[in-house]
């Protein structure tokens, strides 16, 4: 009888552990989803750039309009500027566009350029 109770307790404990493991696992999966490279880049853009460029890249925020931010969805803009030039402006700034040389790594700037290219309207 004593053994049976002990066995029940052990089974209960084990299933609790398995259950907690599952919960933990799905929490870890959610976290991974949130930290996926793509959402990280949009977070970076939204944190540092959207104030002027807008989360939609159109530059229609109060700061963006005042400063004269370009419309990233405009294909004329996209076709005119090459990646190297965009990188130079992000690094060094130009007129009202601040320099991000000290804030961003080269890799971050590169991925931001890819992200900006994604605004181009089809
Ligand atoms: C304070 C407002 C402001 C912020 C913040 C800002 N920008 Fe700009 N950005 C501008 C303005 C204004 C221009 C237009 C500059 C000009 O007239 O030469 C511009 C231009 C650009 C261009 C176009 C360069 C070209 O060749 O025409 C790129 C690319 C760009 N910004 C990327 C970014 C990225 C990436 C960030 C965030 C890391 C950012 N900007 C943050 C205001 C801003």
DSSP-derived letter for residue 59 is -
| pLDDT band per the 50, 70, 90 thresholds, residue 107 | very high
pLDDT tens-digit series, residues 37-59: 778 888 999 999 999 999 999 99
For residue 49, the tally of other CB atoms under 10 A from its CB is 23
Closest ligand 1 atom number to CA of residue 103 = 38
Nearest 5°: phi and psi at 19?
A: -60, -50
Q: Of the given ranges (25-34, 37-46, 81-90), which has the lowest mean pLDDT?
A: 25-34
| Predicted confidence (pLDDT) at residue 33 exceeds the cutoff of 60 | no
* Ligand 1 center to 33 CA (angstroms): 29
* Ligand 1 center to 52 CA (angstroms): 8
| Predicted confidence (pLDDT) at residue 97 exceeds the cutoff of 70 | yes
DSSP-derived letter for residue 98 is P
Mean pLDDT over 8-12 rounds to 76
Instruction: Give the pLDDT of residue 5.
Output: 82
| pLDDT band per the 50, 70, 90 thresholds, residue 122 | low
Say if residues 113 and 83 touch (Cβ distance below 8 Å). Answer: yes
| Predicted confidence (pLDDT) at residue 21 exceeds the cutoff of 90 | no
Mean pLDDT over 50-69 rounds to 98
The pTM for the full model equals 0.77
SS3 at position 97: strand
Residue in 60, 69, 115 to alter for ligand 1 test, most ligand atoms within 8 A of Cβ = 69
Can you list the positions of beta strands (E) in the chain?
Answer: none
Rounded-to-integer distance, Cα 80 and Cα 51, Å = 24
Closest-CA residue, ligand 1 atom 41, reads 49
Higher pLDDT, 81 or 8: 81
Say if residues 52 and 59 touch (Cβ distance below 8 Å). Answer: yes
């Amino acid at each position: 009888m004593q053994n049976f109770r002990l066995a029940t307790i052990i089974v209960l404990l084990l299933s609790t552990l398995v259950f907690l493991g599952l919960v933990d696992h799905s929490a870890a999966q959610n976290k991974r989803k949130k930290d996926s490279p793509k959402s990280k880049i949009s977070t970076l853009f939204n944190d540092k750039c959207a104030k002027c460029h807008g989360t939609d890249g159109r530059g229609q925020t109060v700061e963006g309009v005042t400063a004269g931010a370009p419309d990233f969805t405009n294909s004329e803009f996209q076709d005119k500027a090459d990646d190297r030039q965009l990188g130079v402006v992000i690094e060094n700034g130009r007129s009202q566009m601040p320099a991000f040389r000290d804030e961003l790594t080269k890799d971050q700037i590169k991925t931001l350029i890819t992200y900006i290219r994604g605004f181009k309207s089809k």
